[in-house]
């Protein structure tokens, strides 16, 4: 509707600009449409400066060299094909690549900045939600079978209010499958309760509305949104917009509250300097923190984090642990964390469960689990060096 309105406005202006219109005459022919497409594609779609550069190339070059057939071809069909082959994003892609190269060179030359700014206190709306709702997770006798494979067998775990629980085990032990069963993403037997409410028969969306938050190993966020916009999308669950009021620009008060809440949450997570950065421009570690901010924004009472430091640089991993501790301290948040980084999971967890072949083989405080013979044999192996590293 908006595009049609703009096209209609353009047609009206074009018609008024012509003093005389003959029968059958076309003011905007097929060749004009193709030329407009050339401008946008050659310059670069998705930016304001891109079509302007495309217009300079398509119309400006022939104007400066009116007698050159080569320039005419480069500004139309041949130039269009060359740009599509080598620069699918248009001239703007060249500028972005140059910018990224300069920034990368500067980062390598300069001292590395810390991953996060100093976090502020937790936003009041998140603290109030935590204070009013119990955040306890009780999983009882959960089993999952894929055909002839028994992925989980009668697994029972508890996450108490304000507690960080670690989930460790070898690859294929069933950690992610258990988290998928808790979230309702795979068929399972047994029961899952959150704050005394049985979630077993609920779909994943209903479990999320009940307060069960989940991150996945890959942070699948919208690459074309900024950090602030991403958090505002998550806050839509708390500050709902009316379609009609938004279309009529009458939702200003809600927009202001949502924007203020997003800024508070961004500052709390130490993401202030990235607030206006696109998700696609962030490092893996920073994207995972933005994803964590999304869970806090939707009001998740229990955070289920599936390998939050997977693929993350060591410097970012070292910053992630203190952030988890700060979230737990400020919000009394409950968390179930799958993690292969033993020093990290041992340092942030109150209790730890170890899975092996779909069953719990050990449970307790970090020191007790770390020194359990079954855990050493299953997870760390018999190598003394691996055992020593786990105590760092």
**How much of the chain is in helix, strand and coil states, percent to nearest 5?**
50, 15, 35
And the tokens for 192?
A: 């899952």
Residue 28: both structure tokens together? 């905007």
Q: Can you tell me the distance from the alpha carbon of 339 to that of 208, in angstroms, rounded to the nearest whole number?
A: 22
Residue 204: Cβ-neighbour burial (10 angstroms; 0-12, 13-18, 19+)? middle
153: region left, alpha or beta (phi > 0 left; psi from -120 to 50 alpha):
beta
In whole angstroms, what is the distance from residue 297 CA to residue 184 CA?
21
- The 3 state secondary structure assigned to 202-255 is CCHHHHHHCCEEEECCCCCCCCCCEHHHHHHHHHCCCCCCCHHHHHCCCCHHHH
Predicted local distance difference test score (pLDDT) of residue 215: 83
Radius of gyration of the chain (CA): 28
SS3 267: helix
* All residues at 6 or more sequence positions from 254 whose CB lies less than 8 Å from its CB, including other chains: 239, 240, 241
∠ CA(332), CA(334), CA(338), 5° rounding? 140
pLDDT at 332: 73
Cα 39 versus chain centre, distance: 33
Q: What is the pLDDT of residue 56?
A: 86
Contacts of residue 339, defined as CB under 8 A and 6 or more positions apart, other chains included, come to 166, 167, 168, 305, 307, 308, 309, 345
Mean pLDDT of residues grouped by 10 in the chain (392 residues)? Answer: 86 78 65 80 80 84 80 75 79 80 68 50 56 72 88 89 87 88 90 87 87 80 87 80 70 76 84 85 83 84 83 72 79 83 85 89 87 77 53 45
């Amino acid at each position: 509707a908006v595009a049609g309105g703009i096209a209609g406005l353009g047609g009206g202006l074009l018609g008024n600009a012509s003093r005389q219109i003959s029968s059958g005459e076309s003011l905007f022919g097929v060749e004009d449409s193709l030329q407009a497409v050339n401008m946008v594609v050659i310059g670069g779609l998705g930016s304001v400066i891109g079509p302007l550069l495309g217009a300079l190339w398509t119309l400006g070059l022939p104007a400066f060299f009116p007698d050159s057939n080569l320039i005419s071809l480069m500004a139309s069909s041949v130039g269009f094909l060359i740009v599509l082959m080598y620069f699918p994003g248009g001239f703007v892609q060249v500028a972005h690549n140059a910018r990224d190269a300069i920034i990368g060179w500067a980062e390598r030359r300069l001292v590395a900045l810390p991953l996060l700014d100093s976090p502020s206190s937790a936003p009041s709306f998140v603290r109030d939600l935590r204070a009013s709702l119990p955040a306890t997770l009780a999983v009882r006798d959960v089993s999952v079978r894929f055909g002839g494979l028994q992925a989980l067998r009668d697994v029972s775990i508890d996450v108490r209010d304000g507690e960080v629980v670690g989930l460790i085990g070898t690859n294929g032990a069933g950690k992610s499958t258990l988290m998928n069963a808790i979230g309702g993403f795979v068929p399972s037997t047994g029961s899952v309760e959150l704050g005394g409410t049985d979630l077993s028969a609920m779909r994943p969306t209903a479990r999320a509305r009940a307060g069960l938050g989940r991150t996945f190993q890959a942070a699948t966020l919208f690459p074309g949104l900024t950090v602030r916009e991403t958090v505002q999308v998550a806050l839509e669950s708390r500050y709902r917009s009316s379609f009609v009021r938004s279309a009529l620009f009458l939702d200003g008060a809600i927009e202001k509250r949502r924007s203020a809440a997003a800024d508070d949450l961004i500052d709390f997570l130490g993401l202030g300097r990235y607030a206006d950065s696109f998700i696609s421009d962030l490092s893996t570690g920073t994207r995972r923190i933005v994803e964590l901010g999304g869970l806090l924004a939707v009001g998740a009472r229990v955070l289920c984090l599936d390998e939050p430091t997977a693929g993350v640089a060591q410097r970012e991993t070292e910053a992630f642990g203190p952030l988890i501790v700060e979230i737990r301290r400020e919000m009394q948040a409950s968390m179930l964390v799958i993690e292969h980084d033993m020093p990290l999971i041992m340092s942030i967890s109150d209790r730890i469960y170890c899975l092996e072949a779909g069953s719990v083989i050990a449970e307790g405080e970090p020191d007790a689990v770390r020194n359990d013979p079954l855990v050493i044999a299953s997870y760390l192996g018999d190598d003394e060096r691996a055992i020593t590293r786990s105590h760092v």
